[in-house]
């Protein structure tokens, strides 16, 4: 009897070890992809082989850094070109929703004497780009690093008031992984530090890891918006807590492509989604019940706070894929993302 139990235990250990090896192998980036990053004064370019995957705008004139274009297939973008380009047929609302960005709509610097600009914003609004908005300024870019199927770059940002007063420091490491052909993953590893004064992240739906998709991917115009639980459309996804959301649809020459936002399980705060049928897809860890009115935050009005000197780490993935949510293997890619986040 003991020998049978021993044999079964050994078999179980071997099976678990085999599964672990398969998981790590599945999480490894595609070693055949030549992933490169080129840093310039006003932008950072991310390439896979000879194709541009995305550019990251960091010029002093921008209100906050943003990615544009986002090419799911070579030369085929999945985010809205406007206002960077005046493309016929694309909506011209919400000019602050520039392709892909990270910020928050109400950041409150406790104990700091600052000018208030908006009636419904307690602190500084980094979401909008009208008069009086805050600015996220890239102040340092390190030399890019690379290995097979993976490249990354370390950047430093300062979050400032409209009067150019710093309230917050941010370290933002940006990774590009080539997971498979036509399946690329950007990872934003973000550390926010309350270096000046204590910080409160206000309760607003206007945040935080945002994407504005192109017209043909809009859920209200025939595209498909779906979350990790399989719920679809704005009604099924807005304000719900989920590990990821995906938008997909026709993206040129009758090809289907999509973009997903992943929230890392390493984040200390779960993610509700400011996901709209008109093409906005935003992972929001800070919105609550009273003002954001997220249904999955009902009864939760506990604001996220940082004491002076304290930091908050948030990690998000931007997954660019061919096909829809099933053809693009979004659920499988999320597992790869999670495995990569566990690596040292």
CA 199 to CA 309: how far, in whole Å?
A: 10
pLDDT of residue 58: 98
Q: Which numeric CATH code is attached to 32-342?
A: 2.70.98
Strands (E), 86-144: 100-104, 107-109, 135-141
- For residue 124 the two structure tokens come to 């500084």
- For residue 262 the two structure tokens come to 């992943």
Cα Rg of the chain, angstroms: 21
pLDDT of residue 33: 80
E strand or H helix that includes residue 104: strand 100-104
pLDDT of residue 14: 36
Per-residue pLDDT of the chain (344 residues; tens, 9 = 90+): 333 333 333 333 333 333 333 333 335 676 668 999 999 999 999 999 999 999 999 999 999 999 999 999 999 999 999 999 999 889 999 999 999 999 999 999 999 999 999 999 999 999 999 899 999 999 999 999 999 999 999 999 999 999 999 999 999 999 999 999 999 999 999 999 999 999 999 999 999 999 999 999 999 999 999 999 999 999 999 999 999 999 999 997 779 999 999 999 999 999 999 999 999 999 999 999 999 999 999 999 999 999 999 999 999 999 999 999 999 999 999 999 999 988 76
Domain ranges for the chain: 1-30, 32-342
* Closest to 149 measured CA to CA, from 340, 334, 326: 340
pTM of the model: 0.91
């Amino acid at each position: 009897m003991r020998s049978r139990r021993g044999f079964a235990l050994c078999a179980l250990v071997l099976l678990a070890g085999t599964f672990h090896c398969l998981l790590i192998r599945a999480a490894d980036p595609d070693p055949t992809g030549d992933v490169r990053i080129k840093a310039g004064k006003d932008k950072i370019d991310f390439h896979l082989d000879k194709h541009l995957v995305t550019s990251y705008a960091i010029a002093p004139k921008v209100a906050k850094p943003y990615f544009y274009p986002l090419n799911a297939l070579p030369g085929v973008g999945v985010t809205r070109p406007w206002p960077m380009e005046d493309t016929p047929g694309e909506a011209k609302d919400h000019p602050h929703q520039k392709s892909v960005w990270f910020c928050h709509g109400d950041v409150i610097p406790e104990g700091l004497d600052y000018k208030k600009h908006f009636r419904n914003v307690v602190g500084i609004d980094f979401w909008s780009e009208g008069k009086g908005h805050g600015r996220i300024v890239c102040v340092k870019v390190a030399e890019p690093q690379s290995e097979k199927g993976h490249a990354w770059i370390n950047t430093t940002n300062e979050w400032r008031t409209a009067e150019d007063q710093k309230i917050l420091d941010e370290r933002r490491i940006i990774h590009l992984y080539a997971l498979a052909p036509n399946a690329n993953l950007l990872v934003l590893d973000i550390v926010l530090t309350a270096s000046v004064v204590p910080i409160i992240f206000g309760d607003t739906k206007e945040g935080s890891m945002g994407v504005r998709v192109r017209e043909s991917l809009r859920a209200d115009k025939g595209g498909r918006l779906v979350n990790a639980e399989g719920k679809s459309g704005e009604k099924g996804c807005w304000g719900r807590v989920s590990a990821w959301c995906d938008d997909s649809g026709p993206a040129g020459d009758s090809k289907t492509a999509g973009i997903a936002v992943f929230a890392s399980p390493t984040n200390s705060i779960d993610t509700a989604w400011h996901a709209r049928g008109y093409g906005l897809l935003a992972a929001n860890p800070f919105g609550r019940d009273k003002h954001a009115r997220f249904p999955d935050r009902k009864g939760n009005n506990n604001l996220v706070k940082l004491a002076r000197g304290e930091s908050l780490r948030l990690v998000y993935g931007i997954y660019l894929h061919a096909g829809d949510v099933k053809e693009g293997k979004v659920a499988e890619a999320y597992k790869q993302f999670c495995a990569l986040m566990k690596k040292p």
